[in-house]
Chain A
């Protein structure tokens, strides 16, 4: 089945630094990538959607200058948390879809636990 590899699984960084999270689709071409954030005991909140070769579309309330998304190839998308602060500590999860429209499955990465100290 489809596999999405997400790295790192855990990262601890100092306040003010930047962190990059990578998601790779291993056996399919991810036309669309989704980035979610999940706080403890809360649901997944969609942060942004990116189509290969296009600028990401951010959900309302998500700072695009803080959460930089790059989807330069059909197999790789990255999320960079810039100038991270303790309130950015969360579980970040990517999801990839092979097709452009509905009817295709969504494959999730294993998630990245970010702790900002």
Chain B
């Protein structure tokens, strides 16, 4: 069973603070890692993806990857109330040959308080 673990939350942070979202995965074959944001009743929106160990920054978002620890995280700086959503971690797995697919964690509910 290939698993993706995320703290379900809710994680509450005040507006302007840094929100830290964590994810661990079990399949060492995972190569790329995607972070999605999902508002209630809507489909996921891509925030960013990372495939190399270390940090990757995109605006207020920073993804961090440590393949040795099978750990990936997402930092949101200067959190805004509009960032309140469920954040989904999705490692990309090779299911055989050239077949790749995403496996989603249960997501972390983030609430940013004004």
Which A residues contact B (CB, under 8 angstroms)? 6, 34, 42-46, 49, 57, 91, 93, 95, 97, 100-103, 105-111, 113
Contact = CB atoms under 8 A, between A and B. Distances in A.
Contacts of A46: 101-104
A49 B32 contact: no
B34 A106 contact: yes
The size class of the interface chain B forms with chain A is 20 to 34
Interface of B: 31-32, 34, 41-46, 49, 88, 92, 94-95, 98-107
Q: Which of B49, B103, B104 has the most CB of A within 10 A?
A: B104
Contact of B46 (A43, A91, A106, A109): A106
B83 to A, nearest CB: 19
B102 A111 contact: no
A97 B94 CA distance: 14
Contacts, number: 51
Given A102-B31, A106-B46, A108-B44, A49 B105 contact: no
A8 to B, nearest CB: 14
Contacts of A108: 43-45
Report the 3 A-B pairs with minimum CB-CB distance, sorted nearest first: A101-B98, A102-B100, A111-B43
Nearest to B8: A41
A110 B42 contact: yes
Contacts of B34: 106
A109 B43 contact: yes
Nearest to A95: B102
B100 A34 contact: no
